[in-house]
């Protein structure tokens, strides 16, 4: 039976503690433009993007490159479905020179974040100065405006890197690398490929990631709710998008298992597939509540039996319209919708509950901790 991602609005007639968060004004180190604004940063997943290797004369190119990157980013699930849960802030960082360092051909330029290819001896690995990037982030946007951070480097050669701040060149195919790395940093997902090392295989303990396990008993598999009863365990087929128990994960060829034959966490150019998509959606809800606002603000309300009272919820909206609001009076279902009015109440205490549910088919198991 499918469970639902859900959240509860304030229960009217009960006391509540209201917390007011005040953020001091900060002097922006660099100009910032919010290019996607879907609501308060306190209740959105906020992406902050910095540029490196863009001169003052190339700022329009930078703006176009960022827009193209975000358009392609939100073409991918589950970010497409939950686009309204995100804000995007572009930080306009100006470099003295254009491009990035290429040590392999003795080419060096002076850029704001010191972007360089051939990092750690790997030609396609682009490193930036994380300390400089974090200083700019800290001086330019609030903490709630940088749940995810990217650096886009003004160089068309394929390259990028992951970590706390993902790095991408302007090459169109590098987005796949960024999506994979975002699976790690935001989704807390593991790599689904085996050896050879490095990194070193360690199959002696149960991985914490939602997409890797050493369990071979069906009932103990983390994603058992996605596996059809007819699918053999372990799973030896090579069909894409069929949840099962496939041997090889977290740099081990044996002893650890992954959910599908070949998701984006194993091969670039593939979708995340069911188990990883579910985890990413749960992680989105770890940052965002599906409730933007509720009215009235008071939680203890006194009425005469002849008076009526209206209540309302402002929910977030998914692309497929999967979020619904159900209203309950004293635990009994009344109606569905963003508003509800009570009248002709009997004397005594009553409780109004508004329950907001996301009934997406992309989540089959909702847990309290993600």
Q: Is the pLDDT of residue 268 over 50?
A: yes
Domain count, the chain: 1
- Nearest-5° Cα angle at 33, 29 to 35: 150
Torsion sign (Cα): 196, 198, 204, 206? negative
Mean pLDDT of 237-259: 96
Give the least confident one: 26-30, 83-87, 120-124, 322-326. 26-30
For residue 170, tell me if it sits in a domain.
yes
CA distance 171 to 157: 6
For residue 306, tell me if it sits in a domain.
no
For residue 71, tell me if it sits in a domain.
yes
Q: Do residues 45 and 24 make contact, with C-beta atoms less than 8 angstroms apart?
A: no
Give the least confident one: 1-10, 174-183, 320-329. 1-10
Domain span including residue 65: 26-185
For residue 169, tell me if it sits in a domain.
yes
pLDDT for res 198: 85
CA distance 355 to 352: 10
Helix or strand holding residue 49 (H, E):
strand 45-52
Helix or strand holding residue 34 (H, E):
strand 32-36
Q: Do residues 255 and 203 make contact, with C-beta atoms less than 8 angstroms apart?
A: yes
Q: What is the CATH number of the domain that holds 154?
A: 3.40.390.10
| Strand 148-153 relative to strand 45-52, pairing | parallel
For residue 70, tell me if it sits in a domain.
yes
At 179-223, the pLDDT tens digits run 999 999 999 999 999 998 889 999 999 999 999 999 999 999 999
Q: Is the pLDDT of residue 14 over 70?
A: no
pLDDT for res 18: 28
Q: Is the pLDDT of residue 4 over 70?
A: no
For residue 265, tell me if it sits in a domain.
no
Q: Do residues 149 and 163 make contact, with C-beta atoms less than 8 angstroms apart?
A: no
Band (16; pLDDT cuts 50, 70, 90): very low
Name the E strands within 70-147: 86-91
At 229-239, the pLDDT tens digits run 999 999 999 99
CB neighbours of residue 287 within 10 Å: 18
CA distance 321 to 139: 37
Mapped onto helix, strand or coil, the DSSP state of residue 4 is coil
- Nearest-5° Cα angle at 336, 332 to 338: 120
| Burial (Cβ within 10 Å: 0-12, 13-18, ≥19) of residue 266 | buried
Mean pLDDT of 81-108: 98
At 27-78, the pLDDT tens digits run 447 999 999 999 999 999 999 999 999 999 999 999 999 999 999 999 999 9
Q: Do residues 46 and 86 make contact, with C-beta atoms less than 8 angstroms apart?
A: yes
For residue 358, tell me if it sits in a domain.
no
For residue 295, tell me if it sits in a domain.
no
User: Which among 364, 77, 78 has a CA at the least distance from the CA of 224?
Assistant: 364
Q: Is the pLDDT of residue 368 over 60?
A: no
Q: Is the pLDDT of residue 369 over 50?
A: no
């Amino acid at each position: 039976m499918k469970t639902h991602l859900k959240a509860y609005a304030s229960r009217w007639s009960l006391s509540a503690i209201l917390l007011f968060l005040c953020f001091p004004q900060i002097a922006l180190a660099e100009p910032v433009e919010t290019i996607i604004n879907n609501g308060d940063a306190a209740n959105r997943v906020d992406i902050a993007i910095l540029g490196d290797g863009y001169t003052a004369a190339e700022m329009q190119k930078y703006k176009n490159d960022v827009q193209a990157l975000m358009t392609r980013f939100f073409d991918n699930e589950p970010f497409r479905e939950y686009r309204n849960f995100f804000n995007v802030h572009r930080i306009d960082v100006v470099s003295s020179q254009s491009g990035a360092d290429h040590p392999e051909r003795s080419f060096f330029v002076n850029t704001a974040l010191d972007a360089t290819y051939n990092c750690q001896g790997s030609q396609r690995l682009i490193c930036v100065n994380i300390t400089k990037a974090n200083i700019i982030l800290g001086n330019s946007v609030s903490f709630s405006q940088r749940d995810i951070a990217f650096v886009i480097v003004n160089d068309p050669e394929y390259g990028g890197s992951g970590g706390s701040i993902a790095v991408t060149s302007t090459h169109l195919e590098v987005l796949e690398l960024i999506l994979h790395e975002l699976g790690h940093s935001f989704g807390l997902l593991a790599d689904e490929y085996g050896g050879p090392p490095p990194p070193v295989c360690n199959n002696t303990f149960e991985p914490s990631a939602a997409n890797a396990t050493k369990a071979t008993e069906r009932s103990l598999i983390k994603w058992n709710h996605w596996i059809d009863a007819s699918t053999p365990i372990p799973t030896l087929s090579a069909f894409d998008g069929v949840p099962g128990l496939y041997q090889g994960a977290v740099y081990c060829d044996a002893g650890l298992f992954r959910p599908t034959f070949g998701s984006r966490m194993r091969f670039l150019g593939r979708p995340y597939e069911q188990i990883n998509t579910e985890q990413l959606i749960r992680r989105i809800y770890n940052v965002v509540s599906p409730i933007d606002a509720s009215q009235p603000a008071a939680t203890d309300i006194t009425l005469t039996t002849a008076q009526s009272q209206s209540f309302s919820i402002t929910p977030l909206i998914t692309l497929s319209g999967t979020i619904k609001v159900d209203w309950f009076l004293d635990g009994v279902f009344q109606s569905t919708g963003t508003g509800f009015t009570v009248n002709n109440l009997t004397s005594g205490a009553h409780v109004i509950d508004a329950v907001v549910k996301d009934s997406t088919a992309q989540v089959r198991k909702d847990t309290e901790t993600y």
